[in-house]
A = this chain, B = another copy of it.
Amino acid sequence: MSGVRFNNWQAIQEEVLRRIHAREWKPGDVIPNEADLAREFGCARATVNRALRSLAESGVLERRRKAGTRVALHPVTKATVDVPVIRREVEERGLDHGYERIARHDGAPAPLWTAAAMGLARGVPLLHVTGLHRADGAPYVYEDRWINIATVPEAKAQDFRRTSANEWLLTHAPYTHGDIAFTAMAADGEPAEHLEAAPGAPLFVIERTTWDGDRAITAVRLSYAPGHRVRTTI
């Protein structure tokens, strides 16, 4: 019965996926426990654990103590989207990155979406910086940045003319966690103008807020030029 030995966790993972794929183990089925699988595969339980834990993280399996491990009934697709610094995002596409600051206003009153995202009262004074990133000269993304001076006072000394707030913050204001949202918005006003997009054109938008513990650092709305796509694999 045990013609083959599986002595590394990747091989075990593949074998488990093969059984699921071949419908030997169907969605909803409880699969044998770690000890049994270890015996069958001729390896240590820790090795089986490594393989199954990894599959659980990717949503293929569901594991619960005592209840055991089962094939996910509704495999939730987990797409991991890499959101690098914009300069690198552009350079990784093999293009030249350019940046120009558009405006900087210390003490600008927080608009509604910013205040809500940062958990502050509307109208609280923030440092507001807008800028345009280019890829090979073409408009790439419009950065609408709001910085909480109370959390990052060092930002007051920056003019953000040459270095984008995007880049400066990442290396000078480490965050503990953040919220991120993807949506579509119509091009309008200043973003439309700088992105050279027709008013009303659909833009892909990323909104991100980062925190240092319970203190908001910054909120940003990134409006990408028309046609932008974020790709990944699952």
Using a CB–CB cutoff of 8 Å, the interface residues on chain A facing chain B are: 17, 20-21, 27, 73-85, 88, 170-171, 174, 176-186, 200-205, 208, 212, 226-234
Contacts and interface: CB of A to CB of B under 8 A. Distances in A.
The oligomer's copy count stands at 2
B82 A78 contact: yes
Nearest to A82: B76
Contact of A79 (B81, B174, B227, B231): B81
Contact of A228 (B78, B183, B203, B230): B183
A79 B180 contact: yes
Q: How would you classify the secondary structure of chain A's contact residues: helix, strand, loop or mixed?
A: strand
Given A186-B201, A202-B186, A202-B203, A180 B80 contact: no
A21 B181 CA distance: 24
Given A76-B83, A79-B83, 5 more contacts: A74-B88, A76-B84, A77-B180, A181-B232, A182-B229
B85 A231 contact: no
A17 B231 CA distance: 29
